[in-house]
Amino acid sequence: MCGIIGYSGHRPAVPLIMDGLHRLEYRGYDSAGVAFGHYDKIKVVKAEGKLAALEEKLKSNEALLATTGIGHTRWATHGLPVERNAHPHLSQEGDIAIIHNGIIENFLEIKEQLESQGHAFVSDTDTEVLVHLIGEERKTASSLREAFARALRRARGAYAVAIISQEEPGVIYAARMSAPLLLGVGVGECFVASDIPAFLPYTREVVFLEDGEIVRVCDGQWQVWALENMAPVEKEVNHIPWDMQAAAKGGHKHFMLKEIMEQPRVVTDCLSGRIVNTDTGKRVCFPEMDALPVPERLHIVACGTSYNAGLWARQLLENIGGVPVDLDIASEFRYRDPMLRSGEMVLVISQSGETADTLAALRLAREKGCKVIGLCNVVGSSIAREAHVVLYTQAGPEISVASTKAMCSQMTLLTLLALYYGQRRNPDFSDGGLLDGLLDLPQLLEANLPSMNEKAQTLAKKFADSQDFFYLGRGQYQALAFEGALKLKEISYIHAEGYAFGEMKHGPIALISPDFPTFAFALDDDLYPKVKSNIQEVLARSGRIVALVQEQGRELGALGVEELWMLPKAHPVISSFLTLPALQLFSYQVADYLGKDVDQPRNLAKSVTVE
Ligand code: F6R
């Protein structure tokens, strides 16, 4: 989604803002712009496309003089991704500039009213309406701060906004409602931003703003008020231990590859502190969960890859944890008036912790009196703060828009959760070697990822000219088939469909032809004989197949499977963790071979903070 950064301090603001915008690029964007004080005026420079275009324009500006400014990368929600719609936008008099992430739902109504008062707009955006409204309110308000607050009180929807003005040089006002906004506090300087990496090289001291709060920053000074009544709000300054190295590519060509290769460490970090040795053997410990009862039913709600992780875990939570599970896509759950009985709980899964639909689902569940567990990666994110209990996946920042290591960490944590519930329900619970399998997994991945990457590269060259792909699996591999298709389509733009193998003969098999290859999950588990029959059905219709196999699947070559991708033998649940990087690496190598923008695929954003 849009990236926001503002700076007020003693250094040239614009280069620092550009630096911050570069670090927010991973969120996805289609245009960018900055605003800064220029003598006694506000100057705005913006450009369509990548940040390089904006940098080019800034060369001919005297931007280095400014020590206060705001910058924005836009992901279009209202109006085309063209320069005139890019942020910052100016008020009617041109004396206030605004940047905004989110959607003002009632902007048309406000726009009509402002037009009747003589306002003229140059963009199609809701944001420009908001800054005109601030300007209009300023005519009667006693201060800019009051005008800002009044305008925000009239706006319905989601926003993280920041403004600078001619009237108060050196000052930034910012506010949030249902969109992320943070304050970075340095020595003699302050930052406002949508995300921590934007200012991490300059300060690690962070204040998390809450919905309905307004902040004023000026050099190193800052103050927060409640939007509702302008009462001052005491805020805590948090120290962030992250290091920027964690956000660099680590020698790989793309963040996506780096993040796939990081999965051994991700599993280790996710397990750390969560398995203890007792007299009766190893046990999972989640002290944060101990105060909650084992739910009578768990409703898992998430979007995209996080949803696929939830789907993958359903069977484990039911069979190992003994907890019945319902599963919903967040954008459906929030509008279907779900039945949530007492004793049931909602588990929301989100890497970013800011996905608008998932956050709305969380709030709905809370309104209905349901306890909510948040499974999140980003510390201090909205979902993490609003859930009753949060389980952090501890995967580190995920920069590539396509989610990879986050799913691995979600699957690890969900496996632990299933084991944890199993332990709590039954004192004689036995994990069947699964905990040992998890503990050995980092080493297993470490040993196999390099050769998997080579195999993926070979296969990519062979299959990259396909226009369509099926991903087919059964049992736990149904979710991985969905994920495989999602990964391939989002970064290579090849049409891909994920299906449960058993569903093929109910329609989709009509599509099978030599031009419509299949990526099959044929691992050694109880369903292997069924999968083998399904594979034969595809082969009988001249379908080409790449199959992920272990020992049993060796025989499939003789049946006509074109490519066998051998994976090592492992505990049946652990085998899923080997197929995940295989499908990720295949998508990655196809997209890279086709020369696509792997880390920032078209039309996509890392953090989907609008519905
Ligand atoms: C796919 C992808 C998306 C996200 C989805 C949910 O690669 O990244 O499908 O998984 O937008 O995002 P989070 O997990 O941040 O709620």
498-534 residue pLDDT tens: 999 999 989 999 999 999 999 999 999 999 999 999 9
Protein residue with least CA distance to atom 3, ligand 1:
304
Determine which residue's CA is closest to atom 7 belonging to ligand 1. Answer: 402
Residue whose structure tokens are 């059905």: 537
Under 8 Å between Cβ of 316 and 372: no
Atom index in ligand 1 nearest the CA of residue 487 equals: 7
Mutational pocket test of ligand 1: of 376, 403, 482, 583, the residue with most ligand atoms within 8 Å of the beta carbon: 403
Q: What residues contact residue 495 under an 8 Å CB cut-off, 6+ apart?
A: 467, 468, 469, 489
Alpha carbon of 346 to ligand 1 centroid (Å):
18
Does 41 have pLDDT greater than 60? yes
Give per-residue pLDDT as tens, 421-455: 999 999 899 999 999 999 999 999 999 999 999 99
Q: Where does 178-212 show beta strands of DSSP type E? A: 182-185, 190-193, 205-208
Q: Tell me: pLDDT of 123 over 60.
A: yes
The strand order across the sheet containing 325-329 reads 325-329, 297-302, 344-350, 371-376, 389-392
- Look up tokens 């019945």; give the residue: 324
Residue with CA nearest ligand 1 atom 10: 305
Are 210 and 182 in contact by the 8 Å Cβ rule? The answer is no
**What is the strand order of the sheet 563-566 is part of?**
495-500, 468-473, 518-522, 545-549, 563-566
Is the pLDDT score of 164 beyond 80? yes
> Nearest 5 degrees, angle CA 387-CA 388-CA 389?
90
- Residue 580 CA to residue 500 CA, distance in Å, equals 16
- Under a CB-based contact definition with an 8 Å cutoff, are residues 127 and 70 in contact? no
Question: In the beta sheet, which residues pair with residue 472?
Answer: 499, 520
Distance of CA 383 to the CA centre of its chain: 12
Q: For ligand 1, what atom is nearest to the CA of residue 352?
A: 15
- With vertex at residue 193, the alpha carbon angle to CA 491 and CA 219, rounded to the nearest 5 degrees, is 155
| Closest of 518, 538, 535 to residue 469, by C-alpha | 518
Question: What's this model's pTM, rounded to 2 decimal places?
Answer: 0.74
Q: Which two tokens stand for residue 544?
A: 């080409």
What's the CA gap between 46 and 50, in Å, rounded?
A: 11
Residue with CA nearest ligand 1 atom 16: 350
**Pocket test residue of 352, 400, 408, 600 for ligand 1, highest count of atoms within 8 A of CB:** 352
Q: How far apart are CA 376 and CA 320, in angstroms?
A: 22
> Please, which pLDDT band fits residue 40 given cuts at 50, 70 and 90?
confident
pLDDT for 217 beyond 60:
yes
pLDDT given at position 246:
52
d(CA 54, CA 159): 24
Q: Write down the pLDDT at residue 251.
A: 65
Band (248; pLDDT cuts 50, 70, 90): low
Residue 181 CA to residue 198 CA, distance in Å, equals 11
Q: Give Cβ neighbours of residue 124 (< 8 Å, ≥ 6 apart).
A: 78, 79, 80, 85
pLDDT band for position 224 (cuts 50, 70, 90): very high
Cis amide linkage into residue 88, ω under 30° from 0: yes
Residue ranges lining ligand 1, Cβ < 6 Å: 303-306, 350-352, 355, 358, 402-403, 486, 490, 608
Sheet containing 171-177: which strands, arranged edge to edge? 89-90, 96-104, 157-165, 171-177, 213-218, 221-226
Residue 501: its pLDDT value, please? 95
Least Cα distance to 451 among 570, 266, 585, 561 occurs for 585
Dihedral of CA atoms 486, 488, 493, 497 in degrees, nearest 10, equals -60
Q: Could you give the C-alpha distances from 198 to 77, 192, 224, 509, 554, in angstroms and in order?
A: 22, 9, 21, 48, 49
Quick one: pLDDT at residue 603?
A: 84
3-state helix, strand, coil in the chain (%, to 5): 40, 25, 35
Catalytic residue numbers?
Answer: 2, 606
Residue whose tokens read 């397990």: 271
Do 350 and 375 contact (CB within 8 A), yes or no? Answer: yes
Nearest CA to ligand 1 atom 11: 304
> What CA–CA distance (Å, rounded) separates 578 from 477?
11
Cα of 523 from ligand 1 centre, angstroms: 26
Average per-residue pLDDT for the chain:
93
How many C-beta atoms surround the C-beta of residue 202 within 10 A?
A: 18
CB burial readout 456-472, b (16+ within 10 A) else e: bbebbeebeebeebbbb
Indicate the top mutation candidate among 26, 194, 256, 303 to test ligand 1's pocket, ranked by most ligand atoms within 8 A of CB.
Answer: 303
Question: Mean pLDDT, to the nearest integer, of 208-229?
Answer: 96
Q: Output the six-digit token pair for 273.
A: 């502190």
Q: Is 344 helix (H, G, I), strand (E, B) or coil?
A: strand
Tokens, residue 66:
């400014």
DSSP state of 178: S
| Phi, psi for 152 (deg, rounded to 5) | -65, -35
Residue 602 has pLDDT above 80, yes or no: yes
Q: Please give the pLDDT value at position 451.
A: 98
Average pLDDT over residues 409-429: 96
Confidence band, pLDDT 50/70/90 cuts, at residue 270: confident
Top-confidence residue, 325 or 245: 325
* Sequence-distant (≥ 6) Cβ neighbours of residue 117 within 8 angstroms: 136
Å from CA of 416 to ligand 1 middle: 21
Mean pLDDT of 557-563: 97
309's CB contacts (< 8 A; 6+ apart) are 302, 349, 407, 410, 411, 414, 479
pLDDT for the residue 227:
97
What spacing in Å lies between the alpha carbon of 407 and ligand 1's midpoint? 9
